[in-house]
Structure 1
């Protein structure tokens, strides 16, 4: 049986090593399981204390995806098998996944990620957390959680708030997908390369004059990837975010998410990307729309560790509520695309109903030690 994550120390030409981690479950588009998260946490700890390892490189197996998110089917099973909670598997998964993301955000060595193909949910958490984030002409990024009554987690409350204007709010509410050019504009990626440049990238990284000095090695990596990228930019598909920035800011301005949703619903356009975004919001859970909006507002300006703690609290409460299970059933299990949401329309979602999801579900947050 194939291992779900493959690890290898790749030798550099000057006697150092680059630690490579390959998410290796092509059949599920490399979706993360608890086992995979734990394997990554353990190996990253080993590499962190190994002075011969100068950098970490993360990619997905196959040609289709870095990672399409978490194993939603397993989360759904955990939620429905323990209604009201504790939902042991789901809650443990979130805690460990957020530890992984926080470790990557704060890692003591350069981290490089090859964000080719589909990058969603937990995959975006990994991409956003790395220092050197590479995307390709085939990259497709999305946070579609509103459609299954979840929320953009894995640090989404942090990186969505850092995007230009109201781009983060728009993406979170509409589940709109973005490409390589968009992701650089939004601050989710640093470099655009063509997929065909992958082998050359690997050769280049292993030939660098690694010193073991973090700042110097980061500069070496940046220069090397930028030089490769100079020949790739013209082949990238055009982005949508920058071109629609003014309209996005108009649609998403204000403190009332009902007004924002009404603006988007009233949008009349022939633009395919905006039309898909409109459909994404219309199909989302009204409860989720409210808690997504609230979480983004509450997280503004918070330290990263506080954000992960708040995401774990919200995620735990969502797992213990039937709305998530219904969203997954309708979209991914029965695939009838007709979720029976707990509250049918956004106007009927009270502030008290939303506030209940932001009450700590335990005496002490499991991520208090971050």
Structure 2
């Protein structure tokens, strides 16, 4: 596949020639004005091309990046999702179901891809963008990386595999980040296992060229080659890595997330003496966030740790479609992105008042057979 050469296309695909005759597939999210937010057509084209590259013996690795310097990907196109939900008028959310189904199928493909997938996580990496990065085998962060799952602000939940990666964070960090949407930088991402290496953004092209000079072999050894290359480059740039927040707040995070109920944990987070801006912002997001979302996060962490990766995405698809059918997601997007009054009227404004039966509805499958029933089969 040749480079598209069409700068107006939302996703660009290129095949870089390697010195040994192999090729590296390069994916560029190319909607810089919207911070490379994902549309359904982008997801579909990425899935299709990655499947082609998976079967092409000449392609030895995939490199994902975002156009511009501001973002890898700020998430899904939530405004389009909102408009489709409004059009459905409380009916079956056909567009939402298709979007989430195809998005999760792509995320899963990246997680299990047999060839190295390198993600250049520069700038904003949030929501659906983190879903793409989290599954990559080699995740690189830069001096401007800003990573978060801020769904609590819009009445959704940390999806795109959040159940998987939040549960694998140490000392309650997954629960804390899911409840507060706290933003993390490169150092935090490395601390939490969200990233595998740090490089300055100015080194992107040089690193990509280094990949093309690599001697490639089998998929298994190719993963090792990329790991060794990234480790070497990472060590050379350690002094340029910014200071983080998670490591210095590890004891606090562990302390406030030890409660045996959501109400206890929320109370501990909100009552903790604000020591700096990072903690203060997290408290504000939780305080103003959607109480229903907090309950969904609580169940994700309490009940999702033992799920297989396919079952994680199947469960999250149920939750996502139910969010599209319930009013909180629609109201959260309206308040934050549409009317921008920043005054969402949640159905249950208090964390303690959210009924268990209401939360149960978000885990009730609307189908007899999941649209992702065949997910484990590539």
Per-residue deviation, 1:66:
0.5
Distance in 2 between residues matched to 1:59 and 1:122, nearest whole Å: 14
From 205, 230, 244, the equivalent of 2:235 is 230
Q: 1 CA distance for matches of 2:246 and 2:101?
A: 32
Q: Which residue in 1 is equivalent to 2:358?
A: 353
Give the counterpart of 2:336 among 312, 324, 331: 331
Tell me, yes or no, if structure 1 residue 197 matches structure 2 residue 185: no
2:258 pairs, out of 228, 242, 253, with: 253
Equivalences for residues 38-57 of structure 1 within 5 A: 38-57=44-63
CA offsets 1:65-90 (integer angstroms, 9 cap, x no match): 00000000011111121133311111
1:105 alignment partner, SS class: helix
Unaligned runs of 5+ in 2: 1-6
The reply to whether residue 273 of structure 1 matches residue 278 of structure 2 is yes
Deviation at 1:160, TM superposition (A): 0.4
Matched, 1:146 2:152: yes
Is 2:92 the counterpart of 1:71? no
Instruction: Indicate yes or no: 2:12 matched with 1:34.
Output: no
Rounded Cα–Cα distance in structure 1 between residues aligned with 2:304 and 2:86: 29
Alpha-carbon offset, residue 270 of structure 1: 2.9
In 1, Cα distance between the equivalents of 2:262 and 2:166? 16
- Runs of 4+ residues over 6 Å off in structure 1: none
TM-score by length of structure 1 reads: 0.98
State the superposition RMSD in angstroms.
1.0
In 1, Cα distance between equivalents of 2:97 and 2:212: 39
Instruction: Report the counterpart of residue 172 of structure 1 in structure 2.
Output: 178
Stretches of structure 1 that go unaligned for 5 or more consecutive residues are: none
* 1:344 correspondence with 2:344: no
Structure 1 residues 80 and 296: alpha-carbon distance in aligned structure 2, compared to 1, 3 A threshold: farther
> 3-state DSSP class of the match of 1:243?
helix
Q: Contact between 1:112 and 1:134, CA under 8 Å: does it hold in 2?
A: yes
The corresponding residue for 1:294 is: 299
| Cα displacement (A) at 1:15 | 0.4
Deviations 1:234-267 (A, max 9, x none): 1111111111111101101133111111111112
User: What is aligned with 1:5?
Assistant: 11
Q: What is the aligned length?
A: 369
Partner of 1:241: 246
Deviations 1:181-202, CA, capped at 9 Å, x for gaps: 1101111110000111112101
Q: Is residue 55–residue 110 contact of structure 1 (8 Å, CA) maintained in 2?
A: yes
